[in-house]
Amino acid sequence: MIVSMRHTTFLVHHGDYTRFLERLRDLGIAHVHPVSEGESDQWEPLLQTIRRYRSHWMELEQRQVAQGPATGTTAPELAAQFETLREERFALEQAQQQARARLNLLGPWDGIPWQQIDALQARGVYAGFYRCASSAFRQEWSDDHLLGVIRRDKAEVSFAILQKGQTLPDLAGAQRTDPPRFQKKSLLDDLKVLEIRLAESDLALDQVARQRQIFRDQLDALQDEMSWTETLHHTVGQHDDRLMLLEAWIPSTRMDTLAEALRDMDVVWRDRTPRPGEDIPVLLRNNRFARLFHPIVELFSLPMPTEMDLTPWFAPFFTLFFGLCLGDLGYGLLLFLGATVASLVSSLAHQRSLFRLIQWLSLATMLAGILTGTIFGADLGRIGPFSGLAGQFLGADQLFQLALWIGLVQILFGMVLRTVNRSRQFGFVYGVSSIGWILLVIGLTLLWYALLPLVSTILIGAGLVLILLFSDPEAGILKRFGLGLWDLYGISGLFGDLLSYIRLFALGLSSSILGLVVNDIALSVKGDGSIPGWFFFLLILLVGHGMNFGIATLSAFVHPMRLTFVEFYKNAGFTGGGKPYSPFAKRLKPQS
């Protein structure tokens, strides 16, 4: 549900304005209405600092070390310390990469006595170094020259030739090379030193990471300052700035709270209902179950203030879709246990909300696993205690039909919501065309299954009439008819939408087949039950099911989103583009 908003205008004496803003910020219910375009010159330095501290906090958060006690270090001091350590670590990593590159470049040329080579060269004896493929090496080169093989393997031969004079021979099939003069032992010693220094750098960065809450608190303080600056920027001075005017959007459910908070202040304020075309912020308020899906809604778009919030209507479908796509009792149980433990450990409210959502999705997965008789890719009907239920589980054909029927139900339900939404926004006559589509789809479904032929004919005829005559209630009769014909062309898209729901069947089937394949491979390597057999049996089960679980879970989240945001939203007439409600509030909590 979208919370209705009241446009509220405040008029405050300039001497009381700071106290008024502090009171309004403490309430945390006013979404400041912008009255001017552009940004204040004060914003850019704040934005740069906020971006800097947020980047540091996110990097340190990834180090996953426990928070340490407060040390009195300020955010600028910690930022300078972190940036210095990060630059030092980057230099060490670069030096390590260069040392490894030199080590790889050294190849077979380690141990060449360069001092002796230089001494010989001083006496006019020069050394040439060559490489060639093993198949290209010729024995006559050894007969004709003073040649020494440095390294030989199946692929390549590295060798050197000593000869008086600077003109070294050109050997067909061999390539002259200039070996590096550094030594392998020296490089390995350098790498050991660099590894020690990198470990020390990690310890120092971990110490900084234990103080990362300083960045989080400073971010809250800076965002409070930013919010304050922005509010002042959107304040309009009246009567030579002796009176300050501020406009804001207040949820209608909080107007009594506002009146109570401003009772002892000399503030003149009035509120009104929104006018058509105003940029109203959107605040969603739903029951505990639907509220869990708000982050999914925000991934796509918030509804416009004048349309219907579809969250409580798609939430049950999304849960069912996830369960059918993953569709394994064992995977669902693992997901539920993991989310339960994580919710108990987590101290952040938004994380606990996410884990509760995962619990609901895992329950749907377990239900789908029970319906299909699948647990970790195995068929429950072939397991002793459950063998009597073998014929009760849904087969592939039944799952295919179920996916199509679920798709049909959601599409029709979306059309019902579109009818309600358009009727509420523009009047009942604007929803008549959607009613026509509902009748047409039901009639075509009955006709496909050869049920109630007379009723299906009547429904199809009535649907066509309503679509042809009410596609645009404001147009003339001929234009209506033409627009109706154009709308009917979209019936091909409707069939495409319905076929998209086959993915519910295909994904569930593919994950169970992959799980079955993993089980078969694991059983085949177990053999007679020896210790190595059991080891590889368990290893294949863990790795195989781990990979299948990860891929299947990701698919089970992505594809229901696609069905929701494309098929369901489109058939429900969702417009989207709403601006989120962002109240003027203090983020930094006072220290207790």
- Tell me the pLDDT tens digit for each residue of 425-469: 778 888 888 888 888 888 888 888 888 888 888 888 888 888 888
Q: Provide, rounded to the nearest whole percent, the portion of the chain with pLDDT above 70.
A: 96
Contact 478, 494 (CB under 8 A): no
Residue 91 pLDDT > 90, yes or no?
Answer: yes
Residues contacting residue 16 through CB under 8 Å, at least 6 positions apart: 265, 266, 267
What is the residue-averaged pLDDT of the chain? 86
The predicted pLDDT at position 592 comes to: 43
Contact 110, 183 (CB under 8 A): yes
Residue 15 pLDDT > 90, yes or no?
Answer: no
Q: 97-106 long-range CB contacts below 8 Å, 24 or more apart?
A: 99/187, 99/190, 99/191, 99/194, 100/191, 102/180, 102/182, 102/187, 103/184, 103/187, 103/188, 103/191, 105/180, 106/179, 106/180, 106/182, 106/184, 106/187
**For tokens 């202040």, what's the residue?**
265
Q: β-pairing, 156-164 with 174-177?
A: unpaired
Instruction: Please give the Cα distance from 380 to 394 (Å, whole number).
Output: 12
Give the chain's domains with CATH numbers: 1-34+234-283 (3.30.70.120), 113-178 (no CATH), 288-395+505-571 (no CATH), 427-499 (no CATH)
Instruction: Please give the Cα distance from 166 to 127 (Å, whole number).
Output: 9
Residue 39 pLDDT > 60, yes or no?
Answer: no
Give the CA angle between residues 302, 439, 297 to the nearest 5°.
15
Chain centroid to Cα 218, Å, comes to 26
The predicted pLDDT at position 383 comes to: 74
**For tokens 């060269």, what's the residue?**
121
Residue 215 burial (CB < 10 Å; 0-12/13-18/19+)?
buried
Contact 336, 364 (CB under 8 A): no
pLDDT in tens, 238-281: 877 788 899 899 999 999 999 888 888 888 889 889 888 888 99
**For tokens 């990362």, what's the residue?**
212
pLDDT in tens, 522-581: 888 877 777 888 888 888 889 998 999 999 999 999 999 999 998 889 888 888 888 999
Mean pLDDT is highest, among 68-72, 156-160, 163-167, 488-492, for 156-160
User: What's the chain's length in residues?
Assistant: 592
Residue 193 pLDDT > 90, yes or no?
Answer: yes
Helix (H) or strand (E) holding 12: strand 5-13
* Mean pLDDT on 327-336: 91
Helix (H) or strand (E) holding 375: strand 374-375
The predicted pLDDT at position 476 comes to: 72
DSSP secondary structure, 450-491, as one string: T--HHHHHHHHHHHHHHHHHHSSTTS-HHHHHHHHHHHHHTH
The predicted pLDDT at position 590 comes to: 54
pLDDT in tens, 387-430: 666 667 788 888 888 899 999 999 999 989 988 888 887 788 88
Using only C-alpha atoms, the chain has a radius of gyration, in whole angstroms, of 36
pLDDT in tens, 76-87: 888 899 999 999
Residue 178 burial (CB < 10 Å; 0-12/13-18/19+)?
exposed
Instruction: Please give the Cα distance from 400 to 394 (Å, whole number).
Output: 10
Contact 394, 405 (CB under 8 A): no
pLDDT-derived band at 283 (thresholds 50, 70, 90) equals very high
Residue 361 pLDDT > 90, yes or no?
Answer: yes
